[in-house]
Amino acid sequence: MGYYNQRPNQRKRRSWAIPLIVVFLVGIFLVAEVIPSFNANGTGDDSKTVRNNTADSIHGDKAQIINTSVNVDVSTQITEVVDEVTPAVVGVSNIQQQTNYWHQEEGYEAGTGSGVIYKIEDGTAFVVTNHHVIAGADTVEVVLYNEQAVPAELVGSDIFTDLAVLTMDASQVENAISIGSSDNVKVGEPAIAIGSPLGHMFSSTVTQGVISGTNRTIPQDFDQDGRADWQAEVIQTDAAINPGNSGGALINIYGQLIGINSMKINQESVEGIGFSIPIDYALPVIAELEATGEMSRPYLGLEIYSLEEVPKIEWTNTLQLPSEVTGGVYVWSVEPLSPADQVGFKKLDVITELDGVPVMNMIDLRKILYQEKKIGEEVGITYYRDGKRYETSLKLGAQ
């Protein structure tokens, strides 16, 4: 009986198993064929969810492709920019005379740097470089990107801005660089340095980095006496700047000149900290050097030093300064017939203000004179002598 009872059950299982298999196969077909068409047509109850997930996946793939395309485009743009700018960046040789064994004068290369052709006019090419590149030179030579050497003339230079202007024959010059602006550069944007590091052997070397900082101030000691004479205002970049790059070009991704490479921090533990003179700061200096051959600045006629260099005990014992004086500059000598001499300044006078602006050290005083005042203008001066406070004014002369 049991056996008999099993036969009908098997028949029943067979009767519904076959349709189940058919439904299963149809389901697979629907999943494989119908649902993708739903996604494409945007139909079906769950089509929105499926479509969004698929779109995200496709979008991700497209984004990756687009990013690759952008990277290729940027790389291509940089190479095109470098090709265009490189002929405008030159090497600069500082040639000085020396006497040889036979007591004859001969020239030797005392130093090398870089320069940038910024203008071509009436058959003459104008080159900007650093003052320290050509300092002490008897003659100057420019080496073009194709290694052709061309004699150059020094028009003028300025130690405070570390800028110099040269001229040379433009018959072999291809083009001048496009001038940009340094006022709107942003930290993190690409920066490209072009120059001749380590001499002309590596001329037209290109390094790439970013703008690491703007409005940096770097103390400079011109006479190497251990005291800062000036503070340069510079752009910081991590694009490699090596000896010989001085005077070369710092450009943006559009090939525009935004700075004149000038210096780097040269310490064993420091990497990727280089500095460039902002082009907007350099342009007025370049124009004046080109026009007059020198920079004329307001002039007091005083030899001064920062009060911070004097031991505090001397502030009271020798200078007799009151306790409210916390900084200033003291007079060491007065040039005869100078503006300061004409109003009676004396040795050991201590200047604390110019036009009501506090002067804490020599750099503060120079910045006010050189950046805010003009030759022939009046300037008000607050100073102390023998412990007493005085005020006077004078007309600034020309340095």
What homologous superfamily does CATH list for 181-281?
Trypsin-like serine proteases (2.40.10.10)
Residue 146 has pLDDT above 60, yes or no: yes
Matching CATH topology for 181-281 and 298-398? no
Check whether domain 86-98+106-169 has CATH 2.40.10.10, yes or no: yes
Which amino acid belongs to residue 201?
M
Alpha-carbon span 212 to 264, nearest angstrom: 13
What the block records as the tokens of 194 is 């072009």
Residue-wise pLDDT tens digits, 318-327: 999 999 999 9
Q: How far apart are CA 118 and CA 135, in angstroms?
A: 21
Dist CA 155 CA 290 (whole Å): 6
Give the Cα separation of 327 and 306 in Å (integer).
Answer: 8
DSSP annotation of 351 reads E
Contact by Cβ (8 Å): 347, 303: no
Please compute, for residue 283, the number of CA atoms within 13 A of its CA located in the half-sphere on the CB side.
13
Mean confidence (pLDDT) of the chain: 82
In this prediction, residue 266 carries a pLDDT of: 64
pLDDT above 50 for 353: yes
CA distance linking residue 238 with residue 242, whole number of Å? 11
Q: Would you identify the CATH topology of the domain 298-398?
A: Pdz3 Domain (2.30.42)
Of 114, 109, 219, 123, nearest in space to 167 by CA: 123
Q: What is the mean pLDDT of residues 138-167?
A: 95
Label residue 73 by pLDDT band (50, 70, 90).
Answer: low
**Residue 249: closest CA among 197, 293, 187, 184:** 197
Domain ranges of the chain: 2-83, 86-98+106-169, 181-281, 298-398
Length of the chain: 399
Angle, alpha carbons 5-7-8 (nearest 5°): 80
- The residues annotated with a catalytic role in the active site are 132, 162, 246
Average pLDDT for 73-77: 71
* 3-state helix, strand and coil shares in percent for the chain, rounded to the nearest 5: 30, 35, 30
Give the confidence band of 224 by pLDDT, cuts at 50, 70, 90: confident
The pLDDT value given to residue 99: 78
pLDDT tens digits, residue range 111-132? Answer: 899 999 999 999 999 999 999 9
* pTM summary value: 0.73
Alpha helices in 206-294 (DSSP H): 279-292
pLDDT the model gives residue 127 = 98
**Residues forming a β-bridge with 93:** 112, 141
Confidence of residue 232 (pLDDT cuts 50, 70, 90): confident
